Amino acid sequence: MLLAFLGVLIFSWTLPASRFAAPEMGGLAVGVFRNLIGAAVAVVVLIVAKEKFPARQHWKSIILATIGTVGFGTSVAIAMKDLPSAHGAVVIAVIPLTTALLAVLRAKERPPLNFWIGIVVGCSTVVTFLISQNGGSLKFHPADLWLLAALVFSAFTYVEGAKVTRHMPGWKVVSWILVFTLPVILPASIYMLVQNPQILNLTPIAWGGLLYVALFSAYLGFFPWYHSFTLVGISRAGVIQLLQPLMTFVWGALFLGEQLTPAILIAGAVVLGSTVLCWKK
């Protein structure tokens, strides 16, 4: 549980960090270069560790997780160019539900009834909060479509990557996932640099945001995250991510000048209770 919490704590900075970088270099560029930098670090780690290429039976899951990694990072970065991090956090809070559903379909997990009650209550709370923030209507910003796509991409990253962690440590899995992104990410990054040589001429705060999502959100955060999946299962570990919106709201209020309203605190308390219910045996 502590490992899952550490992973979520690291991931909770993804949206604010993306907002630091996306306005200057564009959301798509953040998604591409975050994976390129993460993959470069992963290559060095694998070479130093003298790791062999994954066995063929793991390729399918690694490729699916790779698609999820590229899709999630790109979708979130594009969305965060136009949306506040608190708004994005509410939509992303539904990730535990999509992850649990995919874990049932792909990893054959069977969570107990109290888990489903807790996760539905938690996800319903954040959806209700989203509607209330939009004046009681379902008027979504066009960028919400990118966040909805991120829900699906993230679930594939978590579930397919976790399936491979049954056969190798989590740090190896996420390293190979990032390496598998290179055939797409490397040409895309070269094209962007040729088209706009000034794309990496960033302010220090934008560089900080890019390096955070590259080194922590795309790489180091998955070390404890995937290991927690191995210990307690995808569904039970993944539900800890219900806490991520509350963390992101706090970071947005402290560092981005966003407002921390009573409604956010109430929603966070309900989500916390839902998380406890999911973990009860």
Q: Tell which wins on pLDDT, 254 or 64.
A: 64
To the question of pTM greater than 0.85 for the whole model, the response is: no
Q: Where are the alpha helices (DSSP H) in 113-221?
A: 113-133, 144-164, 170-180, 182-195, 204-212
**Residue 137: predicted pLDDT:** 53
**145 pLDDT above the threshold of 80:** yes
CA distance 146 to 18: 14
3-state helix, strand, coil in the chain (%, to 5): 80, 0, 20
Q: Tell which wins on pLDDT, 209 or 89.
A: 209
Total domain count, the chain? 1
Amino acid 161 reads G
**31 pLDDT above the threshold of 90:** no
Average pLDDT over residues 86-109: 77
**127 pLDDT above the threshold of 80:** no
**150 pLDDT above the threshold of 70:** yes
**79 pLDDT above the threshold of 90:** no
* Residue that the structure tokens 């299962």 belong to: 233
What one-character DSSP code corresponds to residue 239? Answer: G
- List CB contacts of 49: < 8 A, sequence separation 6 or more: none
Q: How confident is the model at residue 136 (pLDDT cuts 50, 70, 90)?
A: low
Which secondary structure element, helix H or strand E, spans residue 70, and what is its range?
A: helix 59-80
**Residue 47: predicted pLDDT:** 96
- Domain assignment of residue 169, given as a range: 2-279
Phi, psi values for residue 105, rounded to 5°: -75, -40
Vertex 156, ends 108 and 227: CA angle to 5°? 75
**207 pLDDT above the threshold of 90:** yes
